[in-house]
Structure 1
Amino acid sequence: MADIPTARPRSNAARILTIVGFVFAVLALLLNPIIFGVLGVVAGIVGAVLGDKPLGWYAAAASVAGAVIGMLIAAAILNN
C-alpha cells in the first residue's frame, strides 16, 4: 500500500505568510483596521492552505479581532 499524504507539508512561504498575517493583525489594531484586517485575513488563510495549518488560521482570526478592536478604538476616539 502506498501512503497517501493527507496534509500538505509546511513550506517557508506558508510560514512567511502566517507571520505577515500576524503583523497585519497588529497594524489593523493600530493604523487602519479595514485595509490591514482584510490583508491579514487573506495572508492567514493562504498560509493555512499552503500548509501552516493552525497558525495560519490563528493569524486570520487575529486579523479579524484586530480589525474589530481597531474600529472600536477609532470610534471611541472620534466620538469623544
Structure 2
Amino acid sequence: MADMHSTARPRGNAARICTILGFVFAVVAVFLAPVLFGIVGVVLGIVGAVMGDKPLGWYAAAASVVGAVIGIALAAAILNS
C-alpha cells in the first residue's frame, strides 16, 4: 500500500499537461505577446499545482512570470533601438 498522507492528491495526467503547457507558454511569452502568454502560463501552472503536480506547477507559474518580464524587456529594447 502506498504511503501517502490523507491530504496529498495523486498527480493526474491533466495536472501534468497543464504544467507542461505552462512551461511552453513561458517560452512563447519571451518571443510573442509576453503579457498574454505570461498570464496564460501562470494560470496553467497554478492549475497544475492545485491539481496535484505541486513543485513543477509552481515552477511553471514562476517561469511564466520570468518569461513575460524578459519578453517585455526584449520588446522594449527592440522598439527603442
TM category (shorter chain) comes to over 0.9
Task: Return structure 1 stretches of 4+ with deviation > 6 angstroms.
Answer: none
TM-score of the pair, normalised by structure 1: 0.94
Instruction: Name the aligned partner's letter for residue 23 of structure 1.
Output: V
Instruction: Name the aligned partner's letter for residue 23 of structure 2.
Output: F
Superposition CA RMSD, Å: 1.1
2:47 is equivalent to residue 43 of structure 1: no
Find the counterpart in structure 2 of residue 14 from structure 1: 15
- The Cα offsets for residues 30-59 of structure 1, whole Å up to 9 and x where unpaired, read as 111000000000000000000000000000
Structure 1 SS opposite 2:6: coil
Identity of matched residues, %: 73
- The Cα offsets for residues 49-76 of structure 1, whole Å up to 9 and x where unpaired, read as 0000000000000000000000000000
Flag structure 2 segments of 5+ consecutive residues without an equivalent.
Answer: none
Instruction: Name the aligned partner's letter for residue 34 of structure 1.
Output: V
Flag structure 1 segments of 5+ consecutive residues without an equivalent.
Answer: none
Q: Distance in 2 between matches of 1:4 and 1:64?
A: 31
Q: Distance in 2 between matches of 1:4 and 1:53?
A: 14
2:81 is equivalent to residue 64 of structure 1: no
Find the counterpart in structure 1 of residue 28 from structure 2: 27
Q: Distance in 2 between matches of 1:42 and 1:71?
A: 19
Q: Distance in 1 between matches of 2:19 and 2:5?
A: 26
